[in-house]
Amino acid sequence: MQEMFGLFSIAKLLREIIGQYVSNPQWVDLFMALINIGGIFTLISLAAVVLVYAERKVSAYMQMRIGPNRVGPWGMLQSVADMIKLLSKEDIMPTGADKWLWVLAPVLLFVPSAAVYAVFPFDQQAIFADLNIGIFYFIAVASQATLPFLMAGWASNNKYSLLGGMRTVAQTISYEVPMAFSILGVVMLAGSMRMSDIIAAQQDVWFICLQPVAFVVYVIAATAESNRAPFDLVESESELVAGPFTEYSGMRWALFFLAEYANLVAASVIATTLFLGGWSGPWFPGWIWFLLKISMMIFIFMWFRWTFPRLRVDQLMSFGWKVLLPVALVNVLITGIGIYTHKLFS
Amino acid sequence: MQGKGLLKGMHITFKRFFGKNVTIQYPEEKIVMSSRFRGGDLELDNNKCIACGLCSMACPNAVIELTTATDEQKKRRLASYIYHSGRCLYCNLCVEACPTKAIRWDKNYENSTYFREQLDVDCLAIAQKAEDAKRRSSDG
């Protein structure tokens, strides 16, 4: 059953069906590639719609409220209504804005958020590009999301937006370092940067058991990377209105939002792949396990957001450099010693 | 230990997540106001009232306007009892002044009306109507 309902067998079935109608194999390949890309984009946009609703419900329940409950059954169509509102909203550009940067920023922000989905293993063999430097590609591409924030902040011609943009740069660069080191522990254990190899290395025991410290460091750094509370200094409402998003409205603003939730999913996917065994699990097809695990990770990120208050900028920086980075470095050292002694005795 | 507070906070939000909600969905659900809530209109008990007029005299804003009449048994009864809620400051002095506890608050918090005149409540008519309804239901 695991094999039969796996994404790979579904894709194979689809390929056969298309093959009956299209004779040229190159055209079949093209169609399959388009379907795959479409699937990923559908996933991203659906994730944003579902997660906005989920976030509002989670926050409501944690604050002993009910949350959205008027639009559709249990308020489930709330985010659809929000989307329609955003689509029909007036597009306002502030006077004195740097026009090109301002227009490009939301689009460019979405590009790296979507590009990282290429290396995510959704199921057995269901990976768009199984690069031999998969996790490195993720770190490299995901960190590109910093620049559009600064662009948006600069182009808005607004001091609060600019402050927000500068904060993103400081924050993302600071937390990139411990995050890379926490991932390094896993890579050392797996002996490969290829996503499928990392999952294969976790057949017996998940890396969260072998690398608990790295997991904690990763989760903290990923929260900071995706600019979510308690590290949401970039868009901190009480200080900077909405940071770089302040001047945006309508669909442009929605793109920022889409990228934010795409980043949240991406952070959860990496946590799942590196520490929780990815898609592997008994009985059910891999993609169900994958969905379950990333939902759990997303819940944990939301749990953080609705529990902790925001840090101050100086606390954020000193925590990143003085606590998280040494912990991650020591973890790498201990992992190295562990691997060396393991090799000595076996 | 450093960071213990974080776990404590997460424990609290997790408990709240599965706990009961406190939201009351107003138009569909309404709360019963507390026993000492002062608000809404005055509820008059015509059987208890001795038409002494102390409530009207206690009122600092002349909100209660009552007239009296003497019945066949030479007993003073209320002839009219108008409560001008638009002027009322809900000080509770009238309720405290009543020697027979004939008036109390009906604890209704939906007080807005479309016209100013609707703020003048004929408490006697309401009391008589309620009495009639009660009698009718006990008769059959």
For A210-265, how does the pLDDT look when each residue is reduced to its tens digit (9 = 90+)? 888 888 899 999 888 888 878 887 777 777 777 788 888 888 888 888 888 888 88
Q: Which whole number is the average pLDDT over A39-50?
A: 85
Give B9's pLDDT tier (boundaries 50, 70, 90).
Answer: confident
Q: What is the pLDDT of residue A102?
A: 86
- Domains, chain B, in order of start with CATH, read 31-139 (3.30.70.3270)
Average pLDDT in chain B: 86
For chain A, give every domain's residue range: 97-345
Q: Which whole number is the average pLDDT over A159-171?
A: 86
Upstream peptide bond of A25 is cis (omega within 30 degrees of 0): no
d(CA A60, CA B35): 30
Would you tell me the crossing angle of helices A250-275 and A78-87 to the nearest 10 degrees?
Answer: 130
pLDDT for residue A134 is more than 80: yes
CB contact under 8 A, A62 and B20: no
d(CA A145, CA A260): 10
CB contact under 8 A, B21 and A303: no
Q: Which whole number is the average pLDDT over A290-313?
A: 88
Q: Which whole number is the average pLDDT over A334-344?
A: 88
Q: Is A303 on the interface with B (CB under 8 A)?
A: yes
For residue A6, give the DSSP letter: S
pLDDT for residue A33 is more than 60: yes
Query: Residue A312 contacts by C-beta under 8 Å, 6 or more apart in sequence?
Result: none
Count how many Cα atoms sit within 13 Å of the Cα of residue A290 in the half-sphere of its side chain: 22
pLDDT for residue B60 is more than 80: yes
Rounded percentage of chain A residues whose pLDDT exceeds 90? 3
Give A333's pLDDT tier (boundaries 50, 70, 90).
Answer: very high
Rounded percentage of chain B residues whose pLDDT exceeds 90? 4
Quote the radius of gyration of chain B (alpha carbons, Å).
23
Spell out which residues of chain A touch residue B14, defining contact as CB-CB under 8 Å: 303
For residue B115, give the DSSP letter: S
Q: What is the pLDDT of residue A4?
A: 66
Minimum mean pLDDT range among A225-229, A306-310, B101-105: A225-229
Complex ipTM > 0.90:
no
Give A2's pLDDT tier (boundaries 50, 70, 90).
Answer: low
Structure tokens at A108: 């460019």
Minimum mean pLDDT range among A189-203, A316-330, B84-98: A189-203
Residue found by looking up tokens 């944990």 in the block:
A300
Residue A162: phi and psi, rounded to 5, are -65, -40
pLDDT for residue A48 is more than 60: yes
Out of A65, A66, A306, closest to residue B13 by CB = A306
pTM of the model as a whole: 0.80
Minimum mean pLDDT range among A3-17, A259-273, B66-80: A3-17
pLDDT: is A281 or B93 the higher one? B93
Residue B67: phi and psi, rounded to 5, are -125, 155
Q: What is the pLDDT of residue A192?
A: 85
Q: Which whole number is the average pLDDT over B84-102?
A: 89
Q: What is the pLDDT of residue A330?
A: 92
Give how far B13 is from chain A: nearest CA, Å. Answer: 5
Residue found by looking up tokens 């925590």 in the block:
A319
Whether residue A149 contacts residue A295, with contact meaning beta carbons closer than 8 Å, is answered with no
Q: What is the dihedral of CA A43, A48, A53, A57, to 10 degrees?
A: 100
Q: How far are the Cα atoms of A44, A117, A201, B47, B113 from residue B102, in angstroms, in the given order? A: 67, 74, 82, 8, 26
Q: What is the pLDDT of residues B22-47, one digit of tens each?
A: 888 888 888 888 888 888 888 888 88
Average pLDDT in chain A: 84
CB contact under 8 A, B21 and A65: yes
Q: What is the pLDDT of residue A229?
A: 77
Q: How far are the Cα atoms of A6, A228, B140 from residue A273, in angstroms, in the given order? A: 17, 21, 75
CB contact under 8 A, A64 and B20: yes
Give A20's pLDDT tier (boundaries 50, 70, 90).
Answer: confident
Exposure string (b/e) for A185-205, b if CB count within 10 Å is 16 or more?
bbbebbebbbbbbbbebbeee
Residue B77: phi and psi, rounded to 5, are -125, 165
Residue found by looking up tokens 């840090």 in the block:
A311
Q: Is A318 on the interface with B (CB under 8 A)?
A: no
Residue found by looking up tokens 């067998």 in the block:
A9
pLDDT for residue A1 is more than 60: no
d(CA B10, CA A216): 15
Q: What is the pLDDT of residues A58-115, one digit of tens each?
A: 888 888 888 888 888 888 888 888 888 888 888 888 888 888 888 888 888 888 888 8
CB contact under 8 A, B16 and A69: no
Q: How many residues does chain B have?
A: 140
pLDDT for residue A11 is more than 80: no
Q: Is B13 on the interface with A (CB under 8 A)?
A: yes
